[in-house]
Structure 1
Amino acid sequence: MIKFTIPGRPLSKSNFKLTNINGQAWMPRAGKHSKYVAYENMIAGYINQQYMGPQLDIQLITVLKLYFPDKRMGDLHNYPKSICDGIEKSGIITNDKLLRPVLLFDFVDKDNPRVEIELYDFNEYKIEYSITPIK
Structure 2
Amino acid sequence: MIKLVIPGRPISKSNFKLHNIHGQAWMPSSGKHSKYLAYENMIAGFINQQYDGDTITEDLIMILKLYFPDKRMGDLHNYPKSICDGIEKSGIIKNDKQLKPVLLFDFIDKENPRVEIELYPLSKYNVSYSIDPI
Q: What range describes the TM-score normalised by the shorter chain of this pair?
A: over 0.9
CA distance in 1, matches of 2:59, 2:50: 20
Counterpart position of 2:62: 62
What is the CA-CA distance between 1:23 and the residue it aligns to? 1.2
Q: Which runs of 4+ in 1 moved over 3 A?
A: none
AA in 2 matched with 1:53: G
Partner SS, residue 111 of structure 2: coil
What is the CA-CA distance between 1:22 and the residue it aligns to? 1.6
Q: What is the Cα-based RMSD across aligned positions, in Å?
A: 0.5
Counterpart position of 2:93: 93
AA in 2 matched with 1:105: F
CA distance in 2, matches of 1:106, 1:70: 11
Matched, 1:103 2:100: no
What is the CA-CA distance between 1:128 and the residue it aligns to? 1.1
CA distance in 1, matches of 2:43, 2:100: 19
Counterpart position of 2:11: 11
AA in 2 matched with 1:9: R
TM-score, normalised with respect to structure 1: 0.98
Counterpart position of 1:80: 80
AA in 1 matched with 2:130: S
Counterpart position of 1:33: 33
Unaligned runs of 5+ in 1: none
The total of aligned residue pairs comes to 134
CA distance in 1, matches of 2:31, 2:3: 32
AA in 1 matched with 2:124: E
